[in-house]
């Protein structure tokens, strides 16, 4: 079975149960599925072939989920696109994927206008958008499509250490397996009401939360974006049972002056992931909301994402751990030859299970490097303890996690190297109290050239997503290097000890 079969089954068995809630609008499973069928039927009436990629470039809404499922229902592959990316980054994804059609949020039209990829069709989402009109057409004829478990359902682009975004191909088997895995790990039932405030274009929001709750027949409460006051009011009003946030969101919530007055008797579970949660924050969260359990989640887009989880009873005892392997999942720490390492020794984390991706779109070489003998090589370094719990001791080489968003320094460095006045540049992560870490750039000017920090940052703003822009540019006479000429980024991170 595929998730599409589950959704249809719920629509037939529970047509009047509320499935989605967004900005005061509620759709039942029956109403939602009918809209998804009309999206599918419309696309089937156009000259698209099975498995064609349809790009979905939208902010959070119930319509995002309708299009997500509707595109797949029609026999096509949905490609959610990060709405925080700059136009050149979006352009690359459109071109590389060869997306045939684009469904876009009208509020993002200015970015679309800066791209030149030719689509067969562009369909808008808005107050009176194309998609809203399509969903009202009852004359559209839908043709059911057969799926193989190995068919690609979703493509999600994630930046690689090479700086080039990679399209992760997730199959129908991957999606439903992740639904099974996370619904078991979080004990999700049909009575759960999941509040999603993080972007649905991210694999975590869509596949760790929206899809598992759908799998169990629960309700998905969607917020367009997290905001301290707005999110708290929504929690009070809608009474969700599960809430997910990155550590930066919990930091903000825990520092609200009225946090002790927030009454959320329905909430049973706080989930967190994407970045480490400090001991004091976990402790404060549990003390402030004693009736709510906490659970850490670890995974990557390449495993849909599902690798391990640290449950509430170990949250303070095993701080820093990302927990035990999830159901249906094997997790190991291995050496350079792929052999398992003893307890306490650091090696690469590898994952095996039905949620491991099909591969990278149009990148067989990287697929072979990443998936070996069924094991996904994550690039994360970790170790196991005596209780079989996993600890991450380092992330993918040099990666920065800014408030839950991955920033790969090489992407930023490539932009800096486009600036004529700069000879060389390096980007590292520096600590930040709210966001965990943020990118900082070090740059060396060419002899006889001059440029200001603001001019450098202004160029970055024109080429990069906001969260990738360095918070600071520090100019040096040279970058620290080792004997082979490699830039010593650990030296830059502890720059107070580096004298130019």
For the chain, the three-class secondary structure string (H helix, E strand, C coil) is CCHHHHHHHHHHHCCCCEEEEECCEEEEHHHHHHHHHHHHHHHHCCCCCCCCEEEEECCCCHHHHHHHHHHHHCCCEEEECCCCCCHHHHHHHHHHHCCCEEEEEHHHHHHHCCCCCCCCEEEEECCCCHHHHHHCCCCCCCCCCCCCCCCEEEEEEEECCCCCEEEEEEEHHHHHHHHHHHHHHCCCCCCCEEEECCCCCCHHHHHHHHHHHHHHCCEEEECCCCCHHHHHHHHHHHCCCEEEECHHHHHHHHCCCCHHHCCCCCCCEEEEECCCCCHHHHHHHHHHCCCCEEEEEECCHHHCCCCEEECHHHCCCCCCEEEEECCCCEEEEECCCCCECCCCCCEEEEEECCCCCCEECCCHHHHHHHEECCEEEEEEEEEECCCCCEEEEECCCCCEEECCEEECHHHHHHHHCCCCCEEEEEEEEEEECCCEEEEEEEEEECCCCCCCHHHHHHHHHHHCCHHHCCCEEEECCCCCECCCCCECHHHHHCHHHCCC
Q: Which of 384, 416, 435 corresponds to the end of one domain? A: 384
User: Within this chain, do residues 367 and 421 fall inside the same structural domain, yes or no?
Assistant: no
User: Within this chain, do residues 131 and 210 fall inside the same structural domain, yes or no?
Assistant: yes
Tell me: pLDDT of 484 over 60. Answer: no
Tell me: pLDDT of 497 over 70. Answer: no
Tell me: pLDDT of 475 over 60. Answer: yes
What are 180-204's pLDDT values in tens digits? 999 999 999 999 999 999 999 999 9
Q: How many domains does the chain have?
A: 2
User: Within this chain, do residues 450 and 336 fall inside the same structural domain, yes or no?
Assistant: no
Please report, for the domain that includes residue 420, its CATH number.
3.30.300.30
Task: Compute the distance between CA of residue 370 and CA of residue 351 in angstroms, rounded to an integer.
Answer: 11
- Residue 22 within any structural domain of the chain: yes
Residue-wise burial string across 45-75, b where 16 or more C-beta atoms lie within 10 A, e elsewhere:
eeebeeebbbbbbbbbbbbbbbbbbbbbbbb
Whether the CB-CB separation of 130 and 123 falls below 8 Å is answered with yes
Stated pTM of the model: 0.86
User: Within this chain, do residues 221 and 120 fall inside the same structural domain, yes or no?
Assistant: yes
Residue 287 half-sphere exposure, CB side, CA atoms within 13 Å?
Answer: 8
Long-range (24+ apart) CB contacts under 8 A made by 129-137 are 131/39, 131/63, 131/66, 131/67, 131/103, 132/63, 134/38, 134/39, 134/42, 135/35, 135/38, 135/39, 135/66, 136/38, 137/38, 137/42
Share of the chain above pLDDT 70, in %: 96
Domain coverage including residue 153:
3-384
User: Within this chain, do residues 305 and 406 fall inside the same structural domain, yes or no?
Assistant: no
Output the pLDDT for position 482. Answer: 59
Q: Which of 358, 384, 410 corresponds to the end of one domain? A: 384
- Residue 393 within any structural domain of the chain: no
User: Within this chain, do residues 317 and 447 fall inside the same structural domain, yes or no?
Assistant: no
Please report, for the domain that includes residue 150, its CATH number.
3.40.50.12780
Read off the pLDDT of each residue in 110-130 and give the average, rounded to a whole number.
95
Tokens read off for 411 = 């992407």
What are 360-391's pLDDT values in tens digits? 999 999 999 999 999 999 988 889 999 999 99
Output the pLDDT for position 499. Answer: 35
User: Within this chain, do residues 137 and 238 fall inside the same structural domain, yes or no?
Assistant: yes
Q: Which of 359, 384, 409 corresponds to the end of one domain? A: 384
Output the pLDDT for position 161. Answer: 41
User: Within this chain, do residues 319 and 454 fall inside the same structural domain, yes or no?
Assistant: no
User: Within this chain, do residues 79 and 145 fall inside the same structural domain, yes or no?
Assistant: yes
Read off the pLDDT of each residue in 120-124 and give the average, rounded to a whole number.
97
- Residue 36 within any structural domain of the chain: yes
- Residue 394 within any structural domain of the chain: no
Tell me: pLDDT of 230 over 70. Answer: yes
Task: Compute the distance between CA of residue 189 and CA of residue 371 in angstroms, rounded to an integer.
Answer: 33
User: Within this chain, do residues 274 and 408 fall inside the same structural domain, yes or no?
Assistant: no
User: Within this chain, do residues 28 and 97 fall inside the same structural domain, yes or no?
Assistant: yes
What are 294-351's pLDDT values in tens digits? 999 999 999 999 999 999 999 999 988 999 999 999 999 999 999 999 999 988 999 9
Cis peptide before 38 (omega within 30 of 0): no
User: Within this chain, do residues 334 and 436 fall inside the same structural domain, yes or no?
Assistant: no
Tell me: pLDDT of 43 over 70. Answer: yes
- Residue 265 within any structural domain of the chain: yes
């Amino acid at each position: 079975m595929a998730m599409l079969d589950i959704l249809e089954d719920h629509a037939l068995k529970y047509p009047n149960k509320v499935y989605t809630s967004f900005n005061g609008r509620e759709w039942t499973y029956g109403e939602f599925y009918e809209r998804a069928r009309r999206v599918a039927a419309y696309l089937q009436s156009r000259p698209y072939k099975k498995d064609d990629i349809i790009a979905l470039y939208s902010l959070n809404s119930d319509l995002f989920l309708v299009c997500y499922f509707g595109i797949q229902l029609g026999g096509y592959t949905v490609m959610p696109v990060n709405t925080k990316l700059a136009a050149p980054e979006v352009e690359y994804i459109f071109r590389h994927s060869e997306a045939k059609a684009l469904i876009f949020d009208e509020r993002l039209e200015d970015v679309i206008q800066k791209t030149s990829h030719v689509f067969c069709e562009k369909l808008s989402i808005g107050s009176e958008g194309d998609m809203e009109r399509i969903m009202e057409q009852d004359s559209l004829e839908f043709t059911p499509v057969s799926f193989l478990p190995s068919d690609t359902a979703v493509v999600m682009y994630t930046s690689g250490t090479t700086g080039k975004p990679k399209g992760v191909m997730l199959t129908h088997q991957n999606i439903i397996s992740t639904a099974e895995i996370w619904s078991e790990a979080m004990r999700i039932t049909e009575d759960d009401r999941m509040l999603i405030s993080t972007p649905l274009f991210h694999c975590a929001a869509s596949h760790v939360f929206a899809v598992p709750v759908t799998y169990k027949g629960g309700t998905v409460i969607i917020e367009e974006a997290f905001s301290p006051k707005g999110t708290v009011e929504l929690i009070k009003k809608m009474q969700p049972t599960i809430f997910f946030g990155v550590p930066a969101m919990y930091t903000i919530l825990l520092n609200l002056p009225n946090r002790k007055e927030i009454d959320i008797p329905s909430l049973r579970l706080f989930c967190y992931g994407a970045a480490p949660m400090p001991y004091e924050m976990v402790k404060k969260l549990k003390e402030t909301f004693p009736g709510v359990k906490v659970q850490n989640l670890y995974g990557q887009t390449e495993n849909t994402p599902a690798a391990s989880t640290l449950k509430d009873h170990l949250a303070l005892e095993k701080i820093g751990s990302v927990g035990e392997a999830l159901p249906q999942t094997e997790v190991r720490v291995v050496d350079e030859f792929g052999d398992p390492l003893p307890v306490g020794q650091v090696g690469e984390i590898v994952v095996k299970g039905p949620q491991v991706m099909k591969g990278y779109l149009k990148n067989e070489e990287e697929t072979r490097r990443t998936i070996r003998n069924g094991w996904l090589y994550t690039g994360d370094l970790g170790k196991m303890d005596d209780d079989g719990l996993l600890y991450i001791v380092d992330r993918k080489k040099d990666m920065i996690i800014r408030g839950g968003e991955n920033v790969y320094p090489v992407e930023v460095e490539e932009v800096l190297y486009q600036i004529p006045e700069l000879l060389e540049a390096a980007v590292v992560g520096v600590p930040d109290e709210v966001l965990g870490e943020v990118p900082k750039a070090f740059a060396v000017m060419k002899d006889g050239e001059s440029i200001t920090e603001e001019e450098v940052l202004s160029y970055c703003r024109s080429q990069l997503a906001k969260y990738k822009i360095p918070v600071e540019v520090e100019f040096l006479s040279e970058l620290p290097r080792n004997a082979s000429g490699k830039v010593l980024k650990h030296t830059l991170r502890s720059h107070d000890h580096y004298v130019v």
